[in-house]
Amino acid sequence: MCPVIPSHLLGALSALALLAPATAHAAPVPLAPPAPGRPADFFTDLPKGGDLHNHLSGAVSTEFLIELATDDGLCITTDTTTAVAPPCGPGTRPAGDAVTDAAFRQQVIRAWSMQDFPADGNGHDHFFATFGKFGEVTWRHPGRMLAEVANTAARQNQFYLETMISPASGQARDLADKVGYDADLDRMHDKLLAQGALDAVVRQARADADTTDTEFRTAAHCGTPRPDAACFLPYRWISQVARLGTPERVFTQMALGMRLAERDPRFVAVNLVQPEDGEVALRDYRLHMRMLNYLKTQYPKAHITLHAGELVPGLVKPEDLTFHIREAVQTGRAERIGHGVSVLHEDRWPSLMRDMAGRRVAVEVPFHSNEQILRVSGAAHPFATYRRHGVPVVLATDDPGVSRIEITDEYRRAADMYGLRYPELRDLARASLEHSFLPGRGLWNDDIRTGYRPVGPCADERQGSGRPADRCAGFLKRNLKAQVQWRQEAAFRRFEATHARTTRPGGNR
Ligand SMILES: [Zn+2]
């Protein structure tokens, strides 16, 4: 899902930019020290690639949000359990009360997450409403939040993170409102560029990213004798575009995100967020795809991944179920699709799946989010159908803080619900790095449908070897994607040694 940013916070969101530690730029990624005392649990230990669909504000745990709110002296309204700025007037309580008062703490946790949410309740509305309730907390500390999320990913044996934020959103909004809308998109783009206006927003976003980077490195103790695991996890930012906005605001956020992706290696892509079933999102869906189609001609190196098909019958009128994914792929130029749950309602869906398989458009699947928001799981979920049609699938968390899950739970569900065994789980993890927006060439052959076979200078090496020959070592040094993939292959070797009983052919996984 995607955060709904309260409008009163948009100005403050300029601070919500990104960072990227040394690992974002430098070629070699240092190895994290091994975690001591890890239990020999199959799903915890399993290497799990990267998380490619993760909203930063929805990814942090609710307990951590309470900690941040307490540190900042924020208040929480007693009726709607919404965080607000101090002073704590009538109808509010200090956020710190959620640390000392168990009943109030439980109230906050239930309001800001899916904890204890009844199975017959409106999960869609409750899930989306959480972002407005904790929004006053999250814009203040993107660096600390990233440290928490990156540490969690590293602890789950992940090797990479792409997380979504809204860079310089206040400045982008102001520029959009000043320029206004022009249906001639080329002219609209020129107006944004005039007098360096869009570049000023780009500069603000990059400065915010620097600030966030500093906060992250401090929070994760990077550069100290005892750095957190987060310091060793490469990550990239995906710029969110609020799809419920006016056309000029949507277009401006798209242009900003794509320009950033071409000018700052910490940013890689854009994604449309907010409910796909919202009135404006539905009304302007094809327009948004045309905007992306145009902007891709201006920013060919910027990546695009799109929430599409996060829909079910009854949530929207039947016609709206029939074209979103196809439009995202064919007009919106999406290289990955988030959710894609409604695919079997698309017109000529088998041909759409053939097209996606042919173009290698991956689907980002967060099982728990889909169950909580759309009530779709198990056989009703198109996960197995995508796989049968050769469409790449990657597991992701979406908003693990709101869902109260970790990526390990997504892999466990893939195994329990669809009977996947170790080789298939391993390939899901591999797919998530292969379809990442990490720079450089990857380790594998182009057509992975025939299996993960290394190509190029590392073809004859033992994958993940600690001492690859010079030719391969040089290739890895030049190509961050292959380098991260190599690290995961090394982890698979260690994993297979520890879990030999379950991973060998005929084993019970
Ligand atoms: Zn999402």
Distance 429 CA to ligand 1 centre (A): 19
User: Residue 506: its pLDDT value, please?
Assistant: 59
User: Residue 455: its pLDDT value, please?
Assistant: 81
Is residue 29 scored above 60 in pLDDT? no
User: Residue 509: its pLDDT value, please?
Assistant: 61
User: Residue 507: its pLDDT value, please?
Assistant: 62
Distance 103 CA to ligand 1 centre (A): 30
User: Residue 500: its pLDDT value, please?
Assistant: 78
Strands 92-94 and 75-77: antiparallel
Distance 129 CA to ligand 1 centre (A): 14
Distance 440 CA to ligand 1 centre (A): 26
Distance 283 CA to ligand 1 centre (A): 20
Token code pair at residue 414: 């893939």
Q: What is the mean pLDDT of the chain?
A: 91
Query: What is the number of alpha carbons within 13 Å of residue 204 lying toward its C-beta?
Result: 23
Is residue 181 scored above 70 in pLDDT? yes
Res. 313 pLDDT band, cuts 50 70 90:
very high
Percent helix / strand / coil, the chain, rounded to 5: 55, 10, 35
Res. 178 pLDDT band, cuts 50 70 90:
very high
Distance 39 CA to ligand 1 centre (A): 31
Residues in the chain: 509
The residue that leads in pLDDT, 390 or 506, is 390
pLDDT tens for each residue of 70-101: 999 999 999 999 999 999 999 999 999 999 99
Least confident residue range of 34-38, 206-210, 341-345: 34-38
Distance 467 CA to ligand 1 centre (A): 39
| Alpha carbon distance, N-terminus to C-terminus of the chain | 31
Res. 285 pLDDT band, cuts 50 70 90:
very high
For the chain, domain boundaries: 7-17+47-61+138-438, 64-121, 454-503
Query: What is the number of alpha carbons within 13 Å of residue 144 lying toward its C-beta?
Result: 14
Res. 115 pLDDT band, cuts 50 70 90:
very high
Question: What are the Cα distances from residue 471, in Å, to 160, 429, 441, 467, 474?
Answer: 25, 26, 15, 11, 5
Distance 1 CA to ligand 1 centre (A): 3
Is residue 28 scored above 50 in pLDDT? no
pLDDT tens for each residue of 351-403: 999 999 999 999 999 999 999 999 999 999 999 999 999 999 999 999 999 99
For ligand 1, an ion, list residues with CB under 5 A. Answer: 1-2, 398
pLDDT tens for each residue of 368-382: 999 999 999 999 999
Distance 309 CA to ligand 1 centre (A): 11
Distance 151 CA to ligand 1 centre (A): 20
User: Residue 9: its pLDDT value, please?
Assistant: 35
Distance 58 CA to ligand 1 centre (A): 9
Res. 471 pLDDT band, cuts 50 70 90:
very high
**Does 7-17+47-61+138-438 carry CATH code 3.40.50.170?**
no
User: Residue 456: its pLDDT value, please?
Assistant: 85
In degrees and rounded to multiples of 5, residue 364 shows phi and psi of -90, 120
Distance 107 CA to ligand 1 centre (A): 25
User: Residue 30: its pLDDT value, please?
Assistant: 44
Res. 116 pLDDT band, cuts 50 70 90:
very high
Distance 350 CA to ligand 1 centre (A): 25
Sign of CA dihedral 29, 33, 39, 40: positive
User: Residue 40: its pLDDT value, please?
Assistant: 53
Distance 34 CA to ligand 1 centre (A): 31
Token code pair at residue 134: 């904790």
Res. 504 pLDDT band, cuts 50 70 90:
low
Res. 37 pLDDT band, cuts 50 70 90:
very low
Distance 208 CA to ligand 1 centre (A): 23
pLDDT tens for each residue of 422-439: 999 999 999 999 999 999
How far apart (Å, rounded) are the C-alpha atoms in residues 176 and 281?
A: 18
User: Residue 448: its pLDDT value, please?
Assistant: 72
Distance 155 CA to ligand 1 centre (A): 22
Distance 417 CA to ligand 1 centre (A): 22
Distance 194 CA to ligand 1 centre (A): 33
Residue with tokens 């050769």: 390
Distance 168 CA to ligand 1 centre (A): 20
User: Residue 508: its pLDDT value, please?
Assistant: 60
